[in-house]
């Protein structure tokens, strides 16, 4: 058999065109340690950067600014903690406008249940009053103030200053316990009596409260749109300033709201 002269060159080219697959017969592994030092260093650097601010904040908040001679408690219809706040607001309001009749603060605006006897820190006041609410003075006629007190009675009681103390019963409805009269006796004793007077719908009462309530918060829509005076003072700052001047605080447990025929919501 005669072999074509082109046969062998063809086989040679065919061999070059075939694809050869290789399989690994062994493998070698080497471990490389990934260090998180860069990340840790970054966190550490941030911590170092923030440390002076954190320490400064801790120092400020732990600073003792007052002393509670007894326990202040948040309670309904009246409690010493609420009495403390509204009395301080009333004092400040009278400095701004001597015609201020009284002060009212919402129960939910007090964010802690008590201040124990002992040192009071700045941080404790921030816990008590964490919101940046402003003290405002609003003009309320007797009809709307009666509606406001009705709302307070239904909720079981809010903090009110002594001037706005009221009682409710089926006979007298709402009346304010105001016009406190002090009689000084010869021996130096002071006798106090309280005359009760029904609210007059024709009289406008200037009431100190917070801007949240004045804007209709806590279901007080009836207060929206009333004429007001902004004081530009935060309630928390007012309380803090008061403690800087008179650091010793005495609990006042006087029941400023008396509900003979309770209207609390169940």
d(C-alpha 79, C-alpha 73), whole Å: 6
pLDDT tens-digit map of 145-190:
989 988 998 899 999 998 888 876 645 555 665 544 444 444 544 4
- Give 47's pLDDT tier (boundaries 50, 70, 90): confident
d(C-alpha 5, C-alpha 10), whole Å: 9
Helices 80-96 and 235-245: angle between axes, nearest 10 degrees: 90
Q: Give the Å distances, CA to CA, from 67 to 88, 117, 211, 236.
A: 15, 7, 29, 17
Burial class (CB in 10 A: 0-12, 13-18, 19+), 229: middle
d(C-alpha 100, C-alpha 222), whole Å: 20
Q: Which residue has the higher pLDDT, 20 or 248?
A: 248
d(C-alpha 137, C-alpha 210), whole Å: 8
Kindly state which CATH superfamily the domain 58-259 is placed in. 5'-Nucleotidase, C-terminal domain (3.90.780.10)
Helix or strand run (H / E) with residue 80: helix 80-96
Q: What local confidence, expressed as pLDDT, does residue 158 receive?
A: 97
What is the dihedral angle through the alpha carbons of 34, 37, 38, 39, rounded to the nearest 10 degrees? 90
- Residues 6 or more apart in contact with residue 19 via CB below 8 angstroms: none
Q: Give the Å distances, CA to CA, from 173 to 64, 167, 260.
A: 44, 8, 10
pLDDT tens-digit map of 93-115:
999 999 999 999 999 999 999 99
Nearest to 66 by CA among 117, 121, 112: 121
Q: What is the separation of C-alpha 53 from the centre of its chain, rounded to a whole number of angstroms?
A: 23
Q: What local confidence, expressed as pLDDT, does residue 42 receive?
A: 53
Q: What local confidence, expressed as pLDDT, does residue 177 receive?
A: 59
pLDDT tens-digit map of 20-33:
444 444 444 444 34
What single-letter DSSP state applies at residue 160?
B
- Give 64's pLDDT tier (boundaries 50, 70, 90): very high
Q: Give percent of the chain above pLDDT 70.
A: 70
Mean pLDDT on 209-217: 98
What is the dihedral angle through the alpha carbons of 119, 60, 95, 70, rounded to the nearest 10 degrees? -10
- Give 59's pLDDT tier (boundaries 50, 70, 90): confident
Domain range list for the chain: 58-259
Q: Give percent of the chain above pLDDT 90.
A: 52
Q: How many CA atoms lie within 13 A of 10 on its CB side?
A: 5
């Amino acid at each position: 058999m005669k072999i074509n002269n082109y046969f062998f060159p063809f086989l040679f080219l065919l061999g070059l065109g075939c694809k050869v697959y290789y399989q690994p017969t062994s493998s070698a592994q080497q471990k490389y340690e990934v260090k998180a030092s860069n990340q840790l260093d970054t966190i550490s650097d941030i911590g170092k950067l923030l440390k002076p601010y954190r320490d400064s904040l801790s120092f400020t908040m732990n600073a003792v600014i007052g002393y509670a001679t007894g326990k202040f408690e948040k309670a309904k219809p009246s409690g010493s903690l609420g009495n403390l706040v509204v009395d301080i607001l009333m004092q400040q309001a009278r400095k701004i406008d001597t015609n201020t009749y009284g002060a009212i603060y919402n129960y939910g605006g007090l964010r802690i249940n008590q201040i124990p006897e002992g040192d009071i820190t700045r941080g404790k006041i921030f816990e008590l009053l964490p919101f940046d609410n402003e003290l405002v003075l609003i003009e309320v006629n007797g009809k709307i103030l009666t509606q406001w007190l009705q709302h307070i009675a239904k909720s079981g009681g809010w903090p009110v200053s002594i001037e706005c103390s009221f009682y409710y019963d089926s006979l007298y409805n709402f009346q304010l316990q105001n016009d406190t009269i002090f009689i000084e006796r010869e021996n130096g004793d002071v006798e106090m009596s309280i005359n009760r007077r029904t609210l007059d719908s024709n009289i406008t009462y200037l009431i100190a409260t917070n801007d949240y309530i004045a804007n209709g918060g806590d279901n007080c829509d009836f207060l929206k749109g009333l004429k007001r005076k902004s004081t530009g003072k935060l309630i928390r700052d007012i309380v803090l300033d008061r403690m800087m001047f008179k650091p010793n605080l005495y609990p006042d447990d006087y029941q400023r709201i008396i509900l003979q025929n309770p209207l609390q919501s169940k």
